[in-house]
Chain A
Amino acid sequence: MNTPQIFVILSGIVLTILIAWYFWFAPKAQTRVAMSASGAQEVAITVKGGYTPDVIVVQKGRPVRLTFTRQESSACSETVLFPDFNQSAKLPEGEQVNVEFTPDKPGEYGFQCQMGMLRGKLIVE
């Protein structure tokens, strides 16, 4: 085994660890939602290649209003789904679309585009 081979093997191991760490094990940034004056928890989400922010922490029992703005034309992200709340919304490009519901039970609820390529998470506390 020559030096380049050893180098490639070692790089392979390092890359594997990096990929696993970056996509699975590193903690994700969470966005805590502030309460508006009316008691609703409002957050604006930009849709462009992903949801920004994508991990959202809300309180249970209070209405949540997520305002999506899709800033791309790729048809992939045109629908956002909340399968656990039986909610979905079409997101026309450039328009603000509200999704409103009141989570009753604490837990983690995913939201995603129709194909599941873009994903976000709603953490209810």
Chain B
Amino acid sequence: MTQRDPVCGMEIDLQSALAKREHMGQTFYFCSQSCVDQFDKDPHRYVMTSATTGFNPEQTLSRIELPVADLPMVRPATKLEAGLLSLNGVDRVTVNAGAGLVQLDYDPQKINLVGLAGAIRSAGYTVDGAQTRIGIENLRCASCVNFIEDELKSTPGVLNATVNIATQEASVDYLPQNTTLADLNKAIETWGYKPRPALSDAPIDKQEEAHAREYSRLMKMFWFAAIISVPVLLFAYPQYVPLIRDLSMETIRWSWVLSAIVTLPVLFYSGYDFFTGAWAAFKHRSANMNTLIALGTGAAWLYSTFAVAFPAVFPEGTSEPFYDVVAVVIALVVLGQALELRAKGQSSSAIKKLLGLQAKTARVIRDSKEMDIPVEEVLVGDVIQVRPGEKIPVDGIIVEGSSAVDESMLTGESLPASKKMGDEVIGATINKTGAFKFRTTKVGKDTALAQIVKMVQDAQNSKAPIARLADTVSGYFVPIVMILAVWTFVIWFVIGPQPQLVYALVTSVTVLIIACPCALGLATPMSLMVGIGKGAENGILIRSGEALQTARAIQTVVLDKTGTITKGKPELTDVLISDQPIVKDDELLRLASSVEKVSEHPLAQAIVEGAQARKLELAEVQDFDAIPGHGVSAKVEGRSILIGNLKLMNRENIALGSLEEKSKSLADDGKTPMFIALDGKAAGIIAVADTVKEDSAEAIKALQSMGIEVVMITGDNRRTAEAIARRVGVTRVLAEVLPEDKANNIQLLQAEGKKVAMVGDGINDAPALAQADVGLAIGTGTDVAIEASDITLIKGSLKGVVTAIEVSRATMTNIYQNLVGAFFYNVLGVPVAMGLLFPFFGLLLSPLIAGAAMAFSSVTVVGNANRLRGFKPKFSVK
């Protein structure tokens, strides 16, 4: 009996088949291993094309794996499974929560991907597809919208598609595994339309566009109000203006009627936002800046119109209108908003810089073909080719080749990092010298860059505790101002000079207009945004406004020794030969490292690397023997060699002479010495140690000069710890601290009444980092380091601690300036507007001055925050 091999199609005898497989009720036979392998990769494919005879009920089924976000790990996703199975056409559902996948067998005749994705959505989960927007040129007819939508939805791999005729854009959710942008474009072209790139996908660009639109809208509103203000202003004070002064009272009255008419569009066009905003707030039983402006200008217009229409009702001299207040105040406040918007755009430049780092395309190798695709379509597991000078598009691990990579944009580290096979590369960094291929591990929103951007954005929008005070104040502020305005009116009306009504109205309107809580509200967020952005530019990720505020007041910095002050990796430091030299020091090192090459001891690695650094050729080793607790013995080039501690030398009765003394002094320096004996005679000492990072001492000195106490904490013995401490200039050492006691020690320092910062290199220091007032993790911008700490120093250097504190101090100073400025403005402005100075100096603010002052108070605050952008850290990274 024979059957066809489903892969290659060869007729084979069932008896002589190499292998067989059962799949979906069918049995398959194979001629060769490669056919089996190919079948195993995707057995489902062969069910449908199988040449077996007979009825196969599952013949039309397709299988698809959908990545689904937030699948529950513990509880089974019964609702999801039941929901999918209840669909007509779905045959089997397997949920793999660990991999985040839902595998489906379904009948494409009965249901498509869009329906499946819809069912998953209605079960409360989301299919983790890519999303893209495609512009469609000259999309005019509404009915074509449906055609294009249906065409896109029936394209394999598309989860959902909507076409918006207003924006002339299609927005498509799709699985990049199953379709590409080109397929989507083709679907649009089938209906005779030309796809074009969507206007902009980057959220920051979109925001910029929106800002630009809003700016021009505000400026239009400003110019309208400003142009009308001029004649209104001239006719408001006829006695001061030549020519107008000479007009008859009758003419001037008519000009006021005209003023009433032309200021109406100012109110309802230029002042549109104030009135709608005030009304919306009023409905919510709250009041804000819009309320004050709307009340002030509205009251001024109503009074003026009343005075012009029924002059007889008013006492002598009070029937003069002040339409000028309406037009000028609105013009100024709108101008202030426009300027504020423009200044705001500058403060978010840090994020723009970060996003600008992202590569646009990636050269992916699929099916052994190189192709350039948009970076959004790169999948985890893709292999990407990077040539010298190119940007690395996403995160991954090098699988072929090596190079030097400039990571300065993320870490601030100016020297390129050398990368070889198995090393991690980070998206947005620049490949310098060599070409390599890497396998992607993180794409899209998971890349280190995307995480950093997200984190910086969140931090910029977080709050410093100091802002809460300003918040509470501004929550009560507006109603209080309204009450103050009421009483200003009452008091001026009752005890003020003649004309009482005019004075009462002008002063209360001035109070309403000058008391804008904007400056107060803007004071902290603007500075925080610039300050946190400034940190990010210097490789310092500050997680929240709270961390930034606390970092300023740090009095004690606790540094973990290993990995923070030191490199965290032993290095060869000394090679000493005995007083009666048997061999030269290079030779001693060569022989020793030849032996250590075979050893698995961690210190051995340091010796071998030390020898490689000196370009020594290592020799063959025989009779290698590890003596536990003592050292090793071996034969190299016919000489017997012993490497180990004092115990080993004593056991072998080797006279050490002065070497013993030298070894003690090495140990005092925190190094680990190893004796070496050749042919039974002491030949020398090799010492390794965890070496101090080049710039640790400098950074510690800078901290101390800022008035900060520096403490070292370590689990190491006191002697080693103190040796390192001496070298970097730290006087207070907490040695022999068990890892679990690190947090306690921080607490003890805090009990001394100090604000303590802890600097550690990641996960093992996490409890101490959490206990400290501010935890600074030295990390590479990876998730764990970011999660565990308040501040992450992407660059490994301790100088980042100095810069972090500097950024914090500069930002907080800026915030205090803003708050004091805003506070003084309101505290002084409101009483002056109420006329408190009038009895003494006859000083009264005009509503016009109040309008100008309020417009520029917020501009000043934003401007002051922007001054921070000029901040330069002591240790400049570039």
Assess the A83–B462 pair: CB atoms within 8 A. yes
Which residues from 108 to 136 on chain B have a C-beta closer than 8 Å to any C-beta of chain A?
122-125
Please determine whether B461 and A1 come into contact, CB atoms closer than 8 angstroms: no
Q: Please determine whether A92 and B210 come into contact, CB atoms closer than 8 angstroms.
A: yes
Judge whether A75 and B487 touch: CB under 8 Å. Answer: no
Q: Given that A49-B279, A50-B284, A81-B463 are known contacts, is A37 also in contact with B124, CB under 8 Å in the complex?
A: yes
Q: Which of B249-291 contact A (CB under 8 A)?
A: 273, 276-281, 283-290
Q: Which of B213, B458, B475 contacts A119 (CB 8 A)?
A: B475
Identity of the chain A residue whose Cβ is nearest the Cβ of B522 in the assembled complex: A115
B521: CB under 8 A from chain A?
Answer: yes
Complex interface residues of chain A between 5 and 40 (CB less than 8 A to chain B): 5, 8-9, 11-12, 15-16, 19-20, 22-24, 26, 28, 36-40
B206 within 8 A of A: yes
Provide the bound-state CA to CA distance between A112 and B277, in Å: 15
- Which of A36, A39, A48, A50 has the most B CB atoms < 10 Å from its CB? A50
B493 within 8 A of A: yes
Contact yes or no, B490 A73, CB < 8 A: no
Q: Which of B234-242, B478-486, B662-670 contacts A (4 or more CB under 8 A)?
A: B478-486
Chain A residues within 8 Å of chain B by Cβ, number: 48
Closest to B459 in A: A86
Give the chain B neighbours of A22 by CB distance below 8 A: 285
Contacts of A67 in B (CB 8 A): none
- Mark out the residues of chain B between 286 and 302 whose CB falls within 8 Å of any chain A CB in the assembled complex: 286-290
In the assembled complex, the Cα of A88 lies from the Cα of B544 at a distance in Å of: 12
Best-surrounded residue of B203, B214, B286 (most CB of chain A within 10 A): B286
Q: Mark A111-125, 1 if CB is under 8 A from B, else 0.
A: 010111111000000
B217 at interface by CB-CB < 8 Å = yes
Give complex CA distance A79, B458 in Å: 11
Nearest A residue to B276 via CB reads A49
| CB-nearest residue of chain B to A113 | B521
Q: How far is the CA of A22 from the CA of B210 in the complex (A)?
A: 35
Say whether B8 faces chain A, with CB atoms less than 8 Å apart: no
Residues of A within 8 A of B482 (CB): 19
Q: How far is the CA of A8 from the CA of B488 in the complex (A)?
A: 11
Interface size class of B (residues with CB under 8 A): 35 or more
Bound form: Cα–Cα A75–B525 in Å: 14
B461 and A49 contact, CB distance less than 8 A: no
Cα separation A19 to B384 with both chains bound (whole Å) = 65
- Inter-chain contacts of A50 with B (CB < 8 A): 277, 280-281, 283-284, 286
Assembled-state Cα–Cα distance A23/B476 (Å): 9
Q: Is B598 an interface residue (CB 8 A)?
A: no
Contact between B461 and A12 (Cβ–Cβ < 8 Å)? no
Q: How far is the CA of A87 from the CA of B459 in the complex (A)?
A: 9
CB distance from B634 to the nearest CB of A (A): 58
Across the interface, do A92 and B494 meet the contact criterion of CB distance under 8 Å? no
Is the CB–CB distance between A49 and B124 below 8 Å? no
Report B375-388 CB contacts with A as 1/0, cut-off 8 Å.
00000000000000
Neighbour of B214 across the interface among A1, A11, A26, A73, CB < 8 A: A73
Q: A12-B487, A93-B210 are in contact. Are A38 and B123 (CB under 8 A)?
A: yes
Q: Which chain A residues border B125 with CB–CB below 8 Å? A: 38
Partner of A117, one of B217, B279, B289: B289
A28-B285 in contact (CB<8A) = yes
Asked if B363 lies at the interface with its beta carbon under 8 angstroms from chain A, I say: no
**Chain B's nearest CB lies how many Å from the CB of A110?**
8
Which one of A48, A74, A114 contacts B461 once the chains associate, using CB atoms below 8 Å? A114
Q: List residues of chain A with CB within 8 A of the CB of B474.
A: 116
Interface residues of A in 66-99 (CB under 8 A from B): 72-75, 78-79, 81, 83, 86-88, 90, 92-93
Complex interface: chain B residues within 8 A of A83 (CB)? 462-463
Q: Is the CB of A8 within 8 A of B489?
A: yes
Q: List B contacts of A39 (CB < 8 A).
A: 124
Task: Report B-chain residues with C-beta under 8 Å of the C-beta of A72.
Answer: 273, 276
* B755 interface residue per 8 A CB criterion: no
Q: Does B552 contact A (CB under 8 A)?
A: no
B344 at the interface (CB under 8 A from A): yes
| Distance from A1 Cβ to chain B, minimum over Cβ atoms (Å) | 7
Shortest Cβ gap from B392 to chain A (Å): 27
Asked if B446 is an interface residue, CB under 8 A from chain A, the answer is no
A8–B124 CB distance below 8 A: no
| Complexed CA–CA distance, A88 and B384 (Å) | 34
Chain B residues positioned under 8 Å from A88 (CB to CB): 457-458, 461-462
Give the residues from 304 to 318 in chain B that come closer than 8 angstroms, CB to CB, to chain A: none
| Residues B483 and A19 in contact, CB atoms below 8 Å apart | yes
Nearest CB in chain A: distance from B853 CB, A:
18
A4 vs B496: C-alpha distance when bound (angstroms): 14
Known contacts A23-B287, A90-B203; A8 and B544 CB within 8 A of each other: no
Inter-chain contacts of A78 with B (CB < 8 A): 207, 210
Residue from B341, B461, B517 having most chain A Cβ neighbours under 10 A:
B461
CB atoms of A16 and B284 under 8 A apart: no
Which residues of chain B have C-beta atoms less than 8 A from A23's C-beta?
285-287, 478-479
Residues of chain B from 505 to 522 with CB closer than 8 A to chain A in the complex: 517-518, 521-522
B522–A81 CB distance below 8 A: no
Select which of A12, A15, A87, A117 is within 8 A of B521 by beta carbon. Answer: A117
Q: How far is the CA of A54 from the CA of B476 in the complex (A)?
A: 17
Give complex CA distance A1, B494 in Å.
8
Instruction: Tell which of B79, B280, B287, B521 touches A116, judged by Cβ atoms closer than 8 Å.
Output: B521
Q: Are B490 and A8 neighbours in the complex by a CB distance under 8 Å? A: yes
Tell yes or no: B609 within 8 A of A by CB: no
Task: Decide: A73 near B217, CB < 8 A? Known: A16-B483, A19-B479, A37-B122.
Answer: yes
Given contacts A16-B486, A38-B124, A49-B276, contact A115 B286 (CB under 8 A): no
A54 to B213, CA, bound (A): 28
Q: Is the CB of A16 within 8 A of B487?
A: yes
Residues of B within 8 A of A86 (CB): 458, 462, 544
Q: How far is the CA of A75 from the CA of B494 in the complex (A)?
A: 42
Chain B residues whose CB sits within 8 angstroms of the CB of A12 once the complex forms: 486-487, 489-490
B211 at the interface (CB under 8 A from A): yes
Given contacts A12-B486, A115-B518, contact A52 B284 (CB under 8 A): yes
Using A9-B490, A22-B285 as known contacts, list a sample of 16 further A-B pairs with CB atoms less than 8 Å apart, ordered by residue number in A.
A19-B483, A28-B284, A37-B122, A38-B123, A50-B286, A52-B280, A73-B213, A73-B214, A74-B277, A79-B461, A90-B203, A90-B207, A92-B203, A114-B525, A115-B521, A117-B290
Q: Which 4 pairs, one residue from A and one from B, show the smallest C-beta to C-beta distance?
A: A38-B124, A49-B280, A88-B461, A115-B521
Chain A to chain B contacts (Cβ below 8 Å), 5 pairs? A8-B490, A9-B494, A50-B281, A52-B284, A73-B214
